[in-house]
Each structure stands twice: as structure tokens, then as C-alpha cells.
Amino acid sequence: MAPAVLIQNLQKRYGPVEAVKDVSLTVEPGQIFGLLGPNGAGKTTTLRCLCTLTKPDLGIVEVAGVSAIKNPKKARQLLGYVAQEVALDKVLTGRELLQLQAALYHLPRAVAAERIKATLALLDLDNYADQKTGTYSGGLRKRLDLAAGLLHQPVVLVLDEPTVGLDIESRRVIWDFLRQLRDSGTTVLMTSHYLEEIDALADRVAIIDQGKVIAEGTPSELKDQVGGDRITLRIREFAPLDEAEKAKAMIQALPFVQDVLINPDQGNSLNLVVVPQSEALSTIQQALKEVGLPTFGIAQARPSLDDVYLAATGRTLLDADVAASGKRDPKAERKQNMR
């Protein structure tokens, strides 16, 4: 069986900007596949190439074995695309928008009516269906957009940053919904620059940075690959630097400790990478006591996807995100992306 989505060596540049340099990924049917990367990594461009909105410069793009480049009309039938920015007609009601959507996907009248009813119920939109979408809140708008993307029962649902800008509650509701959707058999390809989101939802993840896939696997595979556990140690709430240095020198000498960093942003706390072992915390605390240093707090955790990103790029996802968002000109890009 052909993979739900196959992208190979995708390339796309906008003038001098190489938005996508080399992206390859394979999404198996029935998965939630997460594309994680900081702002500007090339996630949206990749999805636009998949959904036939942008012609790639090079590469293979297939949906369930159908080439989105050679056979875009067939590919469109198989895809449901929910863009990063919700574009609704604010004069139409939610129901009218879904009716339009159903006609654009050529659903017969009776089927459309039934699906609209079911989809509205599924996303708990019944009470708002006959109000104009101009009156909707952000969460409602996103849910209606999601409903529109699902109406024709696509083989692959493609979601670009489905929860960006939403409140915690709306975000959780959408997470639950996506899990249910996956369990009922729909393949989901989603992007996010929130690692908790990908960690919580994705069966497989590709981490993308500056237009390239830098890591791919299940979230736990990726974390295992970076190896080691992470320990955060705070001697005091705000430790003086000399104490922190003293503790660092002492801890570095312990056999199971691989790396120690002092984090001045967190009151000179110590960030440790250690070989996973059960006595790590008590051993460290004991050693501190022997040199007369207190322990304010200590916690051990498995590596996160952020550690995966850090290991591959040398910076945290958050830093990369902040650095990139200042450099972009959303208005100019929108103009460029206008069709």
C-alpha cells in the first residue's frame, strides 16, 4: 500500500530565500505525523507544495500514490487542507460555508446535508451553525475551518499550526478531536512550533530546521537517540556564581555525569546530562552535602524534543523561533503567496 503522503527531496525557493532546501518524509496511513520546527523552518511551504498551492522547484510529492504535481486534481480530492490563517467569509453562516465547501468537493445534496449535520455535531458547532462566521471567536473559527476540511472525508487531513493563537481550552479540545480522528482511521499531517503539541499528539515526527529535515522518528525514538537523562539542580533559589562553579566542578567529577551547564537565566541553576540511573539524584545530593552545599530543588527527566532540536542545531527551539520571527515580513509574504 502506498504511503498516505510521500515527499522526497522537496525544494522550493522564493527569489534568494531557500524556503525548503531538502525535505523528505513518509507518512503511513492512520498516523498523526508532526512536522516540528521553529518559525521560518519551511513547514508552511512544504504543506503548500503538498496541497497544490505552490509548485515545487524540485522533488516528488505524492498523496496515496497520486502525484500532486502531475495529477493535482486527483490529489486535491484526497486531501483536506486547513491553512495556518483561517479565511472564512464573514457574511456567510457556518452552515452556508459548509454547504459551499460540500459543493466544491461535489458531494451530492443528500450526502452533503447528512455530512454537514454530522460534522457540526462532531465539532460541537450546532449552536453556532446559523450565525454569521463574522461573529465567531478564534476557537470557533478554527473549529469551523476544521469541519470544512473534513467534510469530504479526505484520506489525509493537512493542518498547518492548528492551535496557534488559541487559548488552552480550545487547544485541548482540538487535540482530543485529532486523536479521535486518527483513531477512526484518518491520516493527519500537522505542523507545529510547539513541542508539547507534537509530543502529545504525534505518532511520528520530523524536525525541520532551515528547510531541512534534521531528525525523524517516533518522539521516544528521537529522545532515546540524544541519550542521557536531564537533571535540573538548584542549590539555592538564587545561587551565587562561585557556589554554582564549585558545585559544577564537584558534580563533573561524578562518573555518571556527561555534561554540566550553568544557566544564569534561572538563578544559576545547573543543567546536567547524565547516564540514566536510579541513584543519580541521591548521589548528587549526598555529594553536595559533603562539601557543605544545600539543595533547593532537583528534578530528573527524560530528554524532550527540545533537547533533540538542541542537540542537532546547537540552539533551543524557542531561541530559534524568536530569532526567526523578527526577520520575517508577513505582509510581503502574503502578497507573494497570493494566487
Partner 1 sequence: MTTTPVKPNTSLVAPANSPLKTPGLLSGEFFQETFALARRLFIQLQRRPSTLIAGIIQPLLWLVLFGALFQNVPEGLFGTSQNYGQFLGAGVIVFTAFSGALNAGLPVMFDREFGFLNRLLVAPLASRFSIVLASAIFITALSLIQTAAIIAVSALLGAGLPGPLGLSIVTLIVLLLVLGVTALSLGLAFALPGHVELIAVIFVTNLPLLFASTALVPLSFMPTWLQAIASLNPLSYAIEPIRYVYLHTHWSLSSVVLQAPWGSVTMGVALLVLIGFDALALISVQRLLRRTLA
Whole-number Å distance between alpha carbons of 188 and 36: 14
**Residue placing its CB nearer to ligand ADP in the complex, 14 or 105:** 14
Residue 321 to residues 194, 219, 309, 325: CA-CA distances in angstroms?
10, 20, 12, 6
Nearer to Mg ion by Cβ, of 286 and 325: the residue is 325
Q: Does 34 bind ligand ADP (CB under 6 A)?
A: no
DSSP 63: E
* Stretch touching ligand ADP by CB under 6 A, among 1-9, 12-20, 95-103, 214-222: 12-20
Could you identify the residue written with the cell 470557533?
Answer: 140
Beta strands in the chain (DSSP E): 5-14, 17-27, 32-36, 58-63, 66-67, 79-82, 156-159, 187-192, 204-209, 212-217, 229-234, 257-263, 269-274, 297-301
Closest separation in Å from C-beta 156 to partner 1: 9
229: helix, strand or coil: strand
- Residues 127 and 113: their CA atoms lie apart, in Å, by 17
User: Minimum distance from CB of 11 to ligand ADP (Å)?
Assistant: 12
Grid-cell match 539555592, residue found: 236
Q: Which is nearer to ligand ADP, 214 or 250 (CB)?
A: 214
- Whether 36 contacts 28, CB under 8 Å: no
Q: Among residue numbers 4 through 63, which ones bind Mg ion (CB under 5 A)? A: 43-44
Closest distance of CB 106 from partner 1, Å = 4
Q: Which residues bind partner 1 (CB under 8 A)?
A: 1-2, 4, 29, 51-53, 64-66, 73-74, 76-79, 81, 83, 85, 87-89, 91-92, 96, 99-101, 103-106, 121-124, 132, 143, 148, 150, 152-155, 172-173, 176-177, 180-181, 183-186, 334-335, 338-339
- Report 70-89 residues binding ligand ADP (CB under 6 A): none
Q: Which stretch binds ligand ADP (CB under 6 A): 37-45, 68-76, 115-123, 136-144?
A: 37-45
Question: What's the closest the beta carbon of residue 335 comes to ligand ADP, in angstroms?
Answer: 8
Specify whether the CB–CB gap between 202 and 28 falls below 8 A. Answer: no
Nearest approach, Cβ of 223 to partner 1 (angstroms)? 29
Between vectors from CA 268 to CA 262 and to CA 270, what angle results, nearest 5°? 45
In the window 320-339, what residues touch ligand ADP (CB under 6 A)?
Answer: 328, 333, 336-337
**What mask, x for binding ligand ADP by CB under 6 A, covers residues 283 to 322?**
----------------------------------------
User: Which of 39, 93, 192, 304 forms a contact with ligand ADP (CB under 6 A)?
Assistant: 39
Task: Determine, following the binding rule CB under 6 A, whether residue 41 of this chain makes contact with ligand ADP.
Answer: yes
| Nearest CA among 134, 163, 133, 161 for reference residue 148 | 133
DSSP state of 93: B
Quick one: cell of 291? Answer: 562539601
As measured in angstroms, the least distance from the Cβ of 2 to Mg ion is 27
Give the residue with the Cβ less far from ligand ADP, 73 or 331: 331
Answer for the pair 72, 81: CB distance below 8 angstroms, yes or no.
Answer: no
Q: Which is nearer to ligand ADP, 120 or 320 (CB)?
A: 320
For residue 5, give the amino acid letter. Answer: V
Distance CA 185, CA 249 (A): 53
Residues that bind Mg ion (CB under 5 A): 43-44
- List contacts with ligand ADP (CB under 6 A): 14, 17, 19, 37, 39-45, 328, 333, 336-337
